[in-house]
Amino acid sequence: MPYPWHGAVPCLNPDHEGHNPVTTLTVSDRHAGDLKGDALVLVSVQTDQGAALAPGHGLGEETVAHIESALSTLKAKGGADEVVKLVCVPGVAAAMVVVTGAGKVVAQGDSLDPEALRRAVGSATRQVSGLAKVVVAAPGEGVAEATATAEGALFGAYTVTSAAAGPITAPVRSLIVVSPVARDRSLRAAIKRAIALGEATTYARDLVNQAPNDLYPETFAAQVKKRAVGSDVKVSVLDESGLARGAFGGHLAVGGGSVRGPRLVTLRYTPAKAKAKKHIAFVGKGITFDSGGLAIKPPASMSTMKCDMAGAAAVASAVFAIAELGLPVEITAYLCLAENMLGAGACRPSDVITIRGGKTVELNNPDAEGRIVMADGLALASEKKPDLIIDIATLTGAAVAALGLRTAALLSNDDDLRDVVKDIADAAGEAFWPFPLLEEIRPTLDSPVADLLQSGPTGVIFAGWFLAEFIGTGKDGQPIPWAHLDIAGPAFNDKAPWGYTPKQGTGFGVRTLVGIAESQA
């Protein structure tokens, strides 16, 4: 029997009629070949002779010989995203064996890289969507391998949904991860965390994947409020009148061109029994659709702009995961929501607006709207004097031009924080590349008619300096440590799916945000 505790990973999209059904995850220390199911997933590695099964699967010699003979006949390589499906495998109770490639083995200890393992298992569970029960044999004999296997299986077990008809293809209904350490106490906490991350990633993806005529600032705020019911997260919302009273000029300027007004959503998680807790502020960009405003985008560039709220989706999802895990750290998060359209109230180049806190900005690019709403959020976050501020946004096309579609940009006003965030992201399997805040770029933000100019030619670094201007001082009188995560590339995948990454919303950034909270707890 599977180990007698389990977790479920539901889609938590309360106002979305077509949502993902529940995928459950259990762990077991039984022989993988004895467990009945629709499929048994095994991991292969790349060798000079072709694909070979990764050690630790526990299968008998006859079974292994049959599988590796079939892999040789099919000229399998064991490379990333290679998935081979076999039937009638002796010694296996499951109806089908799915062999998924993880690439070359790391030399040290002949262990698999955790992210390679996540991607391999996730690629398999993604490609067997619709099956009811899938058994996944974790390679190796340790908690780390079992954890990476569970995470990858959950991240891959996701399908895009239709608002009218539900899932286009149902995700795997039930996952069983097989490992000899299934009864290890440390694995319990690791699997609980994996389930929370899987749930949060699903929620972030579902938010991003909603059509912009369904998800706009008002409905985004309503969905987050409904999701918070029964949790330890408290949610408050500012509408247009509240934003005007609070002098949130960035939200009002960007949202003024849309008939769907802006919102600023605040999520608070304060653990009752936290000891020596720290306070983290998260700020997420939530442009629910970006037409470019009066600097209208060409049609090809506009087609994916429902994803311009992926930063806010990541923040909301991470906060719910942090609360689910009961981390002893205080979180205050801000979702900066607006729709950038071309209506009569749209902001113009040469307009001068006042951000929360009093700084003025000369607008020169209506399509650089994200930093304007983020400025409001960062200024508000600074007022609480948290121990650190993390913002996340699909902010610049320059980040995509520099780093491509799978790597995000990272900037910070604190070298130590930048290094910590990079290490956390690496461990989580989310790729970031640090950019410097070059001093010679700062003077290009000067405006003759305002405190700051909105946009400049140096892309990622200009935007970083702009956001840094709204970071206040902490309790020690020094600038609050702050990091900016520009996820414009990896937040949305309009190419072919790969690893555990589906087409459309990816949920990128959720794991890094949760990891940052864990590092402070």
d(CA 216, CA 203): 16
Choosing from 77, 297, 406, 503, the catalytic residue is 297
d(CA 251, CA 465): 20
DSSP characters for 325-338?
Answer: HT-SSEEEEEEEEE
**Helix 143-156 with 114-127: angle, nearest 10 deg:** 40
Q: Specify whether the CB–CB gap between 318 and 517 falls below 8 A.
A: yes
Q: Indicate if 297 belongs to the active site.
A: yes
Three-state secondary structure call for residue 58:
coil
DSSP code for 501: B
Q: Alpha carbon of 513 to those of 64, 315, 400: distances in Å? A: 41, 7, 21
d(CA 216, CA 506): 19
d(CA 399, CA 376): 22
Of residues 227, 207, 347, 358, the one with CA closest to residue 284: 207
Q: Indicate if 371 belongs to the active site.
A: yes
DSSP characters for 127-173?
Answer: HTTT-SEEEEE-SSSSHHHHHHHHHHHHHHS---EETTTEESSPPPS
> Which run of H or of E encompasses 416?
helix 415-428
Q: Specify whether the CB–CB gap between 161 and 206 falls below 8 A.
A: yes
Choosing from 227, 285, 356, 371, the catalytic residue is 371
Residues identified as active-site:
297, 371
